């Protein structure tokens, strides 16, 4: 597989995944762009791996979790756009604001926990594969997901 073929077939899925991770399309674009440049730089290694797809997902996830090291976050900070995930309060927006509360609460979670949630409830990966992506034990995946769910549950109850 060439890099071009990989990008053709996988770019949209990566963008969707990055959107769920970052919660905002601009950050998602930057994250994917940064990752794909690295993918191209290291294409031979990516190609040789058992699953190029999984390898790239791991790269992107790491980049997201360790965002202080990458430059995409600096760009996001510099851009300083209002966070679109925070609902603007208005009368007719109340219903959707209520519905989007879970979504906006996700941004308050530690990045690792958010990534675990996205991998399980959006990408539908089994816990073992989530552990592979995050580079930790299956037990750690389960505990961080249950901790994240507990946080969300508490906040939802408080908000209502």
Partner 1 sequence: MSRIEEELRAAFERHEDQTPATGPVRDKINIAWVRAKRRRLVLRTTGAAAAVVLAGAALPVAFQQWHQGAQQAPAVNVLSSIGPSQPAVAGPLDVLVIGSENRLTAASGDPHADTVVMIHISADRSRAYAVGLPRAESSLRNTLARGGPERTTSMVSAFTGVEFAATATVDYRAFRAITGAVNGIEVCRSKQCEQLDADTVTPVLRTDPERVLQALATRVITDGTVTDPARIAKLVRAGGNGVTMDGDTQTLLGAAATLADAEIVAVSSPKDPEDLYAAVRSDGLADWVLANPDHVLR
Which residues of this chain interact with partner 1, rule CB under 8 A?
7, 11-12, 15-16, 19-20, 23-25, 28-29, 32-34, 36-37, 40-41, 84, 99-100, 102-103, 106, 117-118, 121-122, 149, 152-153, 156
The nearer residue to partner 1, 2 or 50, going by C-beta atoms, is 2
Q: How far is the CB of 39 from partner 1 (least distance, A)?
A: 9
DSSP state of 80: -
88 sits in the region (left: phi over 0; alpha: psi -120 to 50; else beta) called beta
Nearer to partner 1, 44 or 50 (CB): 44
User: Minimum CB separation from partner 1 for residue 156, in Å?
Assistant: 7
Distance from C-alpha of 99 to C-alpha of 87, rounded to nearest angstrom: 10
Q: What does the alpha-carbon distance between residue 21 and residue 111 come to, in Å, rounded to a whole number?
A: 8
81: left (phi over 0), alpha (psi -120 to 50) or beta: beta
CA distance 85 to 79: 16
- Judged by CB, which is closer to partner 1: 9, or 49? 9
CB of 81 to partner 1, least distance (A): 14
Per-residue tokens: 60: 């992107």
> What is the smallest separation between the CB atom of 122 and partner 1, expressed in angstroms?
4
Nearer to partner 1, 13 or 137 (CB): 13
């Amino acid at each position: 597989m060439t890099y071009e073929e990989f990008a053709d077939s996988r770019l949209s899925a990566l963008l969707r995944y990055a959107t769920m991770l970052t919660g905002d399309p601009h950050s998602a674009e930057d994250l994917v762009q940064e990752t794909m440049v690295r993918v191209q730089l290291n294409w031979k290694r990516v190609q040789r791996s058992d699953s190029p797809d999984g390898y790239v997902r791991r790269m992107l996830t790491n980049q997201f979790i360790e965002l202080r090291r990458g430059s995409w976050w600096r760009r996001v900070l510099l851009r300083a756009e209002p966070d679109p995930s925070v609902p603007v309060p208005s009368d007719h927006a109340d219903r959707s604001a209520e519905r989007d509360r879970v979504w906006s609460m996700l941004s308050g979670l530690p990045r690792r926990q958010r990534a675990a949630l996205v991998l399980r409830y959006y990408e539908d990966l089994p816990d073992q594969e989530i552990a592979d992506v995050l580079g930790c034990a299956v037990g750690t995946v389960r505990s961080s997901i249950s901790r994240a769910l507990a946080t969300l549950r508490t906040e939802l109850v408080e908000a209502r």
